[in-house]
Structure 1
Amino acid sequence: MADDERVGNTELFNARDFSWRLWPVLPLYPFGKRRTIRKEVIKDTIWTFDQLQGIFYVVVPIRMTVVKLDQGGLLVYAPVAPTTECIRLVNELVTEHGDVKYIILPTISGLEHKVFVGPFARCFPAAQVFVAPNQWSFPLNLPLSWLGLPAKRTQLLPEDSSKVPFADQFDYAMLGPINLGPGRFAEVAFFHKRSHTLLVTDSVVSIPENPPAIVQLDPYPLLFHAKDNASDIVADNQANRRKGWQRISLFALYFQPSALEIIDWGEVFRDAFKAPEHSKKAYFGLYPFKWQENWQRSFDALRGNGRLFVAPILQTLILNRAPSETLNWADKVASWDFQWIVPCHFDSPIKATAYQFRQAFSFLERQPVSGGGFFSSSSYPLPEEDFKILRKIDYGLNKYGIVPPAKEKT
């Protein structure tokens, strides 16, 4: 695996290189300023482009993957914001390896992925755009061209993966659509045969112990979440950055793990007066969180020593609506001979086998298959107490008929 990284030099490029003017369409942090880090993960073959996104400083990587085609040219999986810096880094690959030929939108529900495809495609007017079928939008279901996708060169990925022009180099498998009441969930996993690499969007993740490089370009969110109370002054060091990252991971995947308490707002406002910083950036000193001393145990259980797993949100609110369909999809993906997995979030690349991928979905089975690898899901069970808020959300959605109920495990 190659490991060199390329990021725009702040001293050479000005703020316009990181500017993303369409941020009001999806107002996520860091809003109109998005940095990009390119990393070569398989030499002269696969590159990842990491950016950052989040809410209330709960920031995680969002990732685009670029693959070199055998006859020259590039395939782009899940585009990110096409800032000047990002496009410059892509064009460096274009100069060496050929034009962007194919752009893939592998999801139907992830607005954080969909919103970038049209603008990115306009930067590469010769590229064909392939999107997962059954796309939808809310509150109105609009045509693809109304969502910014170029009408004359956008087409749906066919169910038969042999019908696409890159079928000799990639296989793919579609999960869904899974009915979620007002919306749907689907994902298309891509398998690059020559490099034995699996590309996925949201289905599986792995959590690094330390914050990824893209998160460390601006450590403020890490230090914000490293605080134990509003009056803390947190030093910028690697230990505090790690502490903030691990708490951010718990926030992002559980919303509210068992080790986190939400403070009464009367106390929050009183504590805000004691805060050392009262700027808008610091939310005027408001810090409604209180972590119990055992929070690290929840993170260690979640990370599972770097194992591959399905995010608790997907386990509790989405994939349990279609356990049989999900397991059939996981079986098909696990039939491929991959050695590396590149998800769109958290850690990447992940060295993992097909067996380890399939084991990540054993939570959908009444009697999960035991044995096998170090990353077996049964080796690192997620604490049930950390699912409390997600179970409560699930109950409310079912009670009011907003989403269909979960189905029985297979």
Structure 2
Amino acid sequence: MLPTASTRQPATGGSVSLAAQFMATRQLLETLLEPLSEADATIQSMDDASPAKWHAAHTTWFWETFLLRDRAPEYRLFNEDFPFLFNSYYEAEGDRLLRRNRGLVTRPTLADVLEWRAHVNEAMLPLLDDPAHADLVTLGIAHEQQHIELLLTDIKHALSKNPIGPAMWNTPQVAKPQQEDGWISHPGGIARIGHQSDGFAFDNEGPVHRALLEPFALSRRLVTNGEWDAFIADGGYEDHRLWLSDAWAWLDRCNIRKPLYWHDGEQFTHCGWQERDPDAPVTHISYYEADAFASWAGARLPTEFEWEAIARGQDTPDSDAAFNASAGNQLDHAAPPQPVGTSELFGDCWQFTRSAYLPYPRFAPAEGAVGEYNGKFMAGQWVLKGASCATVRGHSRASYRNFFYPQQRWQFTGLRLAKDL
């Protein structure tokens, strides 16, 4: 993923210098590679996912392509083949390897990629604290933070396909869910939507505009595993009345009868197969499933504007729910991402809204290759809010718009119900 907004503030906030944030973010990604074998880092388990090695390389391609190539005249490419291998989908940057073939890149090895990363880190040092490059450096930090989350979710999917269910970490997090029952009411009215500060934002978070809200309420808690078990037991996956037409066809075509990673009373995690906590938030569900559950529960999904109106001011970078191995924190505190159920709106799982991913009024993509990221994908996808347990701390905010296709569920996706008042 590639950010496309100009900004004057670090992607992770606070007073930490850009140079420090750059190095901490780069180190965090490499720390997450340490438990992986060469084969672990190379495997691509499906078209939606990318190998861990590819994430490490693509984030390095970003710095080489968008900063060093244009802003460091004496810099020379580390390897002439790497721009083709590790470009993602930027037409302006020329030919590239097809996404579905990323798992075929057995060479360069992971050690080769790490050597490239060190080479680029060294070349970047003169640029990091120069105000002339601050906007692009900030963009690159946010870009790498996105890929840290993708690396975590992609490797989870890959390990889940191994018959023995290997663990990336041996010790799971142990935390008691702290969700509260009840609803947060909102009187409706005209809400200002979009990024409204001088801090970092992607271009799809603006421009700021107004949205008319009718009176509504948002659940104080996320839907839990136990509630999803009740949905299954009540025939939720067999009742066509609950499902959108495309969703019903998807269920039949793919034989979907439970969330991804569920088996009997267990679920697959970064720590291997673990007993499923009925009080923890349900995750790894699709938009189709979230919408059907909301119908079954006599509620609905919130719009992105309703969610943002409730969440504004509640997104704290120091939230304990956020992934606790983030830039700006001690990297040896890294722990496996696991949704535990907190009293906050942020940090457990990305929450589906009923809003289609579309441009805001007066939206215009940025000039050049970086403008290819958001604008050209604004069709057929749905907006999610709230960050997940795998999101780097401080990376999300109330205006952040994540987005996925309605059938995708390998990310930490869940739901929070809404209702009309």
State TM-score, norm by structure 1.
Answer: 0.26
State TM-score, norm by structure 2.
Answer: 0.26
Kindly indicate which of the two structures has a greater share of residues assigned to strand: 1
